[in-house]
Amino acid sequence: MTPALQLSHFSAAFLFALFASVVFGVTQRENGRDMFRYGGYCFVVFLGGMYGAGWFMWLLHH
Amino acid sequence: MAKTEISASEARPREAAVPFNPMIIVAPLVGWLVPGAGHLVQRRWIRGLLLMVSVVLMFSLGLAMNGKVYQPNAGDLLDILGFVGDLGTGGLYLLSRFQEWGSAAIAAAAANYGTIFIVAAGLLNIMCVVDAYHIAQGRKQ
């Protein structure tokens, strides 16, 4: 049995954000420029949300 | 004086006969079976390839992390929702069931990430299918 791929939480969230942003960008906008901008926006919001939630939990813990 | 009455059928402008476009059925079906193919059959090469790479890689990474592939069931509600999400990957789901991939017990956090990757890949592919349908309809370029 091949060993399972072990990704850190950050790596997994990064890849999730990347793939989801590509699909969101391509499917939710009409032309290439808007697709790129919207995909980038989604990616930043995904990662920003992750960092924000992480710091929020850190503050709750301390 | 003759009263001119216009019947409802005359008042309504006659609708132009729109020829049936088989792509409305073919594109979503192909796009469900093979992620991104619904765009490729409509000559949206770059979009199709981007969607294909994204969904297939996400599904493959989920399997590589020992993620669970849900089976049809009538038990836990979350299991049912997971199955519906997984089913969105179409051909990838059928292949994984045929090969019995993703049937190992979840034993690590990464496997849980993998399960989420697989479900999310299915949901993203549903978005791709709807987009392919809109392109076939002419509602999107």
Is residue A45 within 8 angstroms of chain B, CB to CB? no
With CA atoms as reference, report the closest residue to B58 among A51, A5, A48, A3.
A5
The label of the residue with tokens 């992390």 reads: B65
| Percent of chain B residues past pLDDT 90, beyond the cut | 68
pLDDT at B110: 78
* B117 close to A (CB below 8 A): yes
Mean pLDDT of chain B: 88
d(CA A19, CA B65): 16
| B11 falls within a domain | no
Picking from B45, B61, B134 by the largest number of A CB atoms within 10 A of its own CB, the best residue to mutate is B61
Q: Does residue B46 belong to any structural domain of this protein?
A: yes
The model carries a pTM of 0.87
**Contact by Cβ (8 Å): A6, B107:** no
Residue B38, token pair as written in the block? 């619904």
| Domain contains B4 | no
Nearest residue of A to residue B66 by CA position? Answer: A4
Sign of CA dihedral B116, B59, B126, A33: positive
d(CA B130, CA B114): 25
Rounded to the nearest angstrom, the minimum Cα separation between B113 and chain A is: 7
DSSP assignment string, B41-91: TTT-HHHHHHHHHHHHHHHHHHHHTTPPPP---SS-HHHHHHHHHHHTTTH
Extract the tokens encoding B91.
């051909």
Mean pLDDT is lowest, of A9-18, B12-21, B94-103, for B12-21
The 10s digit of each residue's pLDDT in B22-36 is 999 999 999 999 999
| Domain extent at residue B112 | 23-137
> In the prediction, which pLDDT does A2 show?
65
Nearest CA in chain B to A5: B65
Task: Answer whether B38's CB lies under 8 Å from A23's CB.
Answer: no
Chain B residue nearest residue A2, CA to CA: B64
Determine which of A17-26, A50-59, B71-80, B102-111 has the lowest per-residue pLDDT on average.
B102-111
Q: What is the CA radius of gyration of chain A?
A: 15
Give pLDDT tens digits for B18-70.
678 899 999 999 999 999 999 999 999 999 999 999 999 999 999 999 999 99
Interface contact B51-A23, CB threshold 8 A: yes
What local confidence, expressed as pLDDT, does residue B52 receive? 98
Q: ipTM of the predicted structure?
A: 0.91
The letter for the amino acid at B23 is M
With CA atoms as reference, report the closest residue to B58 among B10, B4, B114: B114
Instruction: For chain A, give the percent of residues with pLDDT over 70.
Output: 97
Nearest-CA distance from B129 to chain A in Å? 9
Closest by Cβ to B120, choosing from A7, A9, A16: A16
